[in-house]
Amino acid sequence: MGIVLPVYNEAAGIERSLDAVAEVARRYPATARVIAVDDGSADDSGAILERAAQRIDVLEAVRHEANAGYGAALRTGARRAGELGLEYVTFMDSDLTNPPEDVLKIGALAAQGHEYIKASRFIAGGRMDGVPLRRSAFSRTGNAVAARLFGTGITDPTNGFRAMRTELATRFPQTERGFASIVEELDWVLRAGITPVEFPTVLTSRTADQRATSFGYTPRVLATYLRYPLRTRAQRVRESVNSHLR
């Protein structure tokens, strides 16, 4: 399992995160590596990663010389997981808002053969703790709309905590540089005829010593996220029409 952490200006808390995720990687029942991708940080994140890689046995540190975006960092991490021969890749935030322990839940589902595994805040056992009301409301509304459009039973399409076979992560021709890469990826997964599976997770808020989230909760962001479920919905309608015309 490759556990990919995209890192951008996370100097305040990244070392704490690396230690926590590495501890779980060592307990993973198969080979696991933490792959931290510094996406051209302007702070000391890159130097911290290089030092940490010298003392953390399961850590791989990769660096973008210039900021290329969240989606690009994930794709770099997935390629590295492929180079290491790791069958699955997990994507999670580098600020400990995703529980590292949940990687073991992912491992259990991967062992059952599931190809695409999504964390969900909206099924039994999942929730958001300490997340501001506006952000929580935005997430619930956006995911409810996206879930209905995707029409697959997935309850948390925009959740960035997920895992998939490494071969899929490196095969799909994704282009989104930002956070919309999450739903672009899901669109490709569904186009490939893969059935996703969900597990419950608890999303927490960033701590006071960390920088504010770079995700903007605006109507424009919502529109960007909805582009892909709308495309999936349109494809489903076309397929239905064509089947009736045959």
Per-residue pLDDT tens digits for 101-133: 999 999 999 999 999 999 999 999 999 998 888
Give me the percent of the chain exceeding a pLDDT of 90: 72
* pLDDT band, very low/low/confident/very high, at 202 (cuts 50, 70, 90): very high
Q: What is the dotted CATH code of the domain comprising 2-245?
A: 3.90.550.10
Question: Is the Cβ–Cβ distance between 6 and 39 less than 8 Å?
Answer: yes
pTM above 0.85, yes or no: yes
Return the bridge partners of 37, or none: 6, 62
Q: Is 195 helix (H, G, I), strand (E, B) or coil?
A: coil
Percent of the chain with pLDDT over 70: 91
Residue 217 has pLDDT above 70, yes or no: no
Which residues are paired to 162 by β-bridges? 91, 118
Cα dihedral sign, 79-119-106-113: negative
Region 169-183: mean pLDDT is: 92
Compute the average pLDDT of residues 197-202: 98
Residues near 200 by beta carbon (within 8 Å), at least 6 away in sequence: 119, 120, 121, 123, 124, 125, 126
Over 70: is that where the pLDDT of 10 sits? yes
* Mean pLDDT on 186-204: 95
Is the pLDDT at 239 greater than 70? The verdict is: no
So where are the chain's domains? 2-245
Write the CB contacts of 139 (distance below 8 Å, at least 6 apart in sequence). 121, 128, 131, 158
